[in-house]
């Protein structure tokens, strides 16, 4: 029998009990968020009207390296964690590469993606502080599905604004949210001022994450005992996702290897942060020289072609101003099937790390992402989410480079979700009905030139 080990699983009693806060270790801290009216740095208290207090405190925490995971959240994590670290022997063989490829399989969560890692603590803190209702947005529906289950688990009422194009492309994600008891509204909608404004100006607008965030925020601000929760971008979301990398660190040790490259797809940055930050701390301390590669869609390239500036997190400009790599908060991305990557900006921590050259970014065309996803599916038997296909495409590029150079490199990527509810996208790809999208420098320049210079 072969002695090759395919997957590495941490026993439940070895699942980390604290999240890792990279800000405590960063030499250059991220710039503070600014109040949109006064342009003054925001403190945790300034965020209390929107977010749960504990989450607001986590958002601005620059000192605690580790933050304990509440017992109730750890219990629910056990429903699907630890997630397996898998050696992709099939993919290595298909590529005939000397590289060792590992992936962290976050698709095994009950809702099919990494998003539950932050949905559970966010619902927990809201409930603990006496909130009864929450609102959120969702792109491809993965965050909405995770939040719907988490809200039900903690007895909260949830309203989800789902980007209209995904509402139509992915009807079963809507059904999943409704099955867990959430109310789902296609965005833009007529139920908010932000939605009505954009529908009046652009009646056929198919929605964006930026608009859906505005609508969810507006509902939260106008509803008593209601808080808003967000699935990416913010520091506290990245913090919760570090459970991925903390587990992976122990599992790589079980495999007797250490990654030379860590890869993840990039929407607002949560799964990239989650798998990267625990390894990145050893690069910051000078012990290791691992590279970190964020794979974003060529049609929404904030890290590779955006500018670093203060910008809003949403389309209508309700959020604080966040220091970020951005394409401009009213950027309307092309209708690619990786709905979760159609976001104009990157979180403030990741943006600072990019400025400091501690991480890299690559852009991936839609057709290349699906080609990579299909190769992975055939080699490993898992159909990846269209978002995750971007990470796979970047991983394949790294593995082929290793082959060209004749180097044995260890690559770790995050499989952020499965694509079993995204088969319409695969259908379209197989029918040769999908295309790439070119984005001109003029469009990007025109969009970012509207931003006030504050950074």
Ligand X SMILES: Cc1ncc(COP(=O)(O)O)c(C=O)c1O
Tokens of 231: 């699935």
Query: Under the criterion CB under 6 A, does residue 266 sit at the interface with ligand X?
Result: yes
Beta carbon nearer to ligand X, 142 or 169 = 142
CB closest to ligand X, residue no: 340
Which positions from 114 to 153 touch ligand X by CB under 6 A, shown as an x/- string? -------------------------xx-xx----------
Query: Under the criterion CB under 6 A, does residue 90 sit at the interface with ligand X?
Result: no
Shortest distance, CB of residue 279 to ligand X, whole angstroms? 16
Cα 159 from Cα 177, distance rounded (Å): 10
Instruction: Return the range that interacts with ligand X (CB under 6 A); candidates 27-35, 260-268, 281-289, 393-401.
Output: 260-268
Shortest distance, CB of residue 232 to ligand X, whole angstroms? 3
Query: Under the criterion CB under 6 A, does residue 268 sit at the interface with ligand X?
Result: yes
Q: Tell me which residue of 239, 225, 237 sits closest to 68, measured CA to CA.
A: 239
Among 188, 340, 345, 373, which residue sits at the site for ligand X (rule: CB under 6 A)? 340
Side-chain-facing half-sphere of 392: CA atoms under 13 Å: 32
Question: How many whole angstroms from its chain centre is CA 342?
Answer: 11
Count, residues near ligand X per rule CB under 6 A? 21
Residues 6+ apart with CB under 8 A from 35: 41, 42, 46, 320, 321
Is the CB of residue 205 less than 8 Å from the CB of residue 186? no
Cα 165 from Cα 256, distance rounded (Å): 44
Query: Under the criterion CB under 6 A, does residue 332 sit at the interface with ligand X?
Result: no
Beta carbon nearer to ligand X, 267 or 320 = 267
Query: Under the criterion CB under 6 A, does residue 239 sit at the interface with ligand X?
Result: no
Query: Under the criterion CB under 6 A, does residue 163 sit at the interface with ligand X?
Result: no
Beta carbon nearer to ligand X, 214 or 271 = 271
Query: Under the criterion CB under 6 A, does residue 265 sit at the interface with ligand X?
Result: yes
Instruction: Return the range that interacts with ligand X (CB under 6 A); candidates 17-25, 83-91, 383-391, 404-412.
Output: 383-391
3-state secondary structure of 446: helix
Shortest distance, CB of residue 110 to ligand X, whole angstroms? 14
- H/E stretch holding 167: helix 164-169
Shortest distance, CB of residue 364 to ligand X, whole angstroms? 13
Q: Phi first, then psi: what are they for 320, rounded to 5°?
A: -60, 165
Cα 351 from Cα 455, distance rounded (Å): 12
Tokens of 428: 């379209």
Query: Under the criterion CB under 6 A, does residue 416 sit at the interface with ligand X?
Result: yes
Which positions from 387 to 406 touch ligand X by CB under 6 A, shown as an x/- string? xx------------------
Task: Give 15-18 contacts, CB < 8 A, sequence gap 24+.
Answer: 15/74, 15/77, 15/78, 15/81, 15/82, 15/243, 15/247, 16/69, 16/243, 16/246, 16/247, 16/250, 17/68, 17/69, 17/74, 18/66, 18/67, 18/68, 18/69
Query: Under the criterion CB under 6 A, does residue 415 sit at the interface with ligand X?
Result: no
Shortest distance, CB of residue 273 to ligand X, whole angstroms? 8
Among 58, 131, 232, 276, which residue sits at the site for ligand X (rule: CB under 6 A)? 232
Shortest distance, CB of residue 11 to ligand X, whole angstroms? 26
With 0-12 / 13-18 / 19 or more C-beta atoms within 10 angstroms meaning exposed / middle / buried, residue 228 is buried
Query: Under the criterion CB under 6 A, does residue 417 sit at the interface with ligand X?
Result: yes
Q: Phi first, then psi: what are they for 3, rounded to 5°?
A: -95, 5
Q: Using CB under 6 A as the criterion, which residues of the chain lie in contact with ligand X when the complex forms?
A: 113, 139-140, 142-143, 232, 265-272, 340-341, 385, 387-388, 416-417
């Amino acid at each position: 029998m072969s002695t090759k080990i395919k997957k590495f699983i941490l026993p439940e009693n070895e699942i980390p009990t604290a999240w890792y806060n990279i800000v405590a270790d960063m030499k250059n801290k991220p710039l503070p968020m600014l109040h949109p009216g006064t342009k003054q740095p925001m403190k945790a208290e300034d965020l209390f009207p929107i977010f749960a207090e504990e989450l607001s405190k986590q958002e601005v925490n620059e000192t605690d390296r580790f933050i304990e995971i509440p017992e109730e959240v750890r219990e629910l994590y056990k429903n699907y964690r630890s997630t397996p670290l898998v050696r992709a022997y099939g993919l290595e063989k298909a590529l005939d590469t000397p590289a060792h490829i590992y992936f962290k399989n976050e698709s095994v969560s009950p809702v099919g993606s990494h998003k539950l890692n932050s949905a559970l603590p966010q619902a927990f803190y809201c409930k603990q502080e006496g909130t009864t209702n929450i609102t959120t947005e969702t792109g491809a529906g993965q965050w909405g599905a995770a939040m719907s289950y988490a809200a039900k688990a903690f007895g909260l009422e949830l309203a989800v604004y789902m980007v209209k194009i995904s509402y139509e492309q992915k009807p079963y994600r809507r059904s999943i949210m409704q099955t867990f008891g959430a109310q789902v509204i296609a965005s833009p909608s007529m139920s908010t001022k932000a939605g009505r404004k954009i529908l009046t100006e652009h009646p056929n607008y198919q929605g964006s994450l930026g608009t859906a965030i505005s609508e969810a925020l507006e509902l939260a601000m106008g509803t008593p005992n209601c808080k808003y929760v967000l699935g990416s971008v913010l520091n506290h979301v990245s913090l919760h996702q570090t459970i991925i990398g903390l587990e992976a660190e122990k599992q790589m040790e079980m495999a007797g290897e250490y990654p030379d490259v860590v890869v993840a797809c990039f929407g607002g940055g949560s799964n990239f942060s989650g798998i990267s930050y625990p390894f990145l701390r050893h690069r910051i301390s000078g012990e290791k020289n691992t590279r970190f590669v964020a794979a974003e869609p060529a049609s929404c390239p904030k890290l590779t072609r955006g500018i670093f500036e203060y910008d809003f997190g949403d389309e209508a400009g309700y959020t604080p101003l966040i220091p970020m790599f951005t394409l401009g908060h009213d950027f309307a991305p092309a209708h690619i099937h990786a709905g979760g990557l159609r976001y104009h900006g990157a979180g403030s921590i990741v943006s600072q790390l990019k400025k400091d050259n501690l991480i890299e970014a690559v852009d991936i065309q839609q057709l290349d992402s699906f080609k990579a996803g299909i190769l992975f599916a055939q080699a490993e038997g898992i159909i990846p989410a269209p978002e995750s296909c971007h990470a796979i495409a970047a991983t394949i590029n790294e593995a082929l480079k290793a082959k060209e150079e004749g180097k044995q490199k260890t690559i770790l990527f995050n499989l952020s979700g499965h694509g079993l509810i995204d088969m319409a996208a695969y259908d379209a790809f197989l029918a040769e009905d999908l295309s790439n999208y070119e984005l001109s420098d003029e469009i990007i320049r025109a969009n970012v030139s509207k931003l006030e210079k504050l950074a």
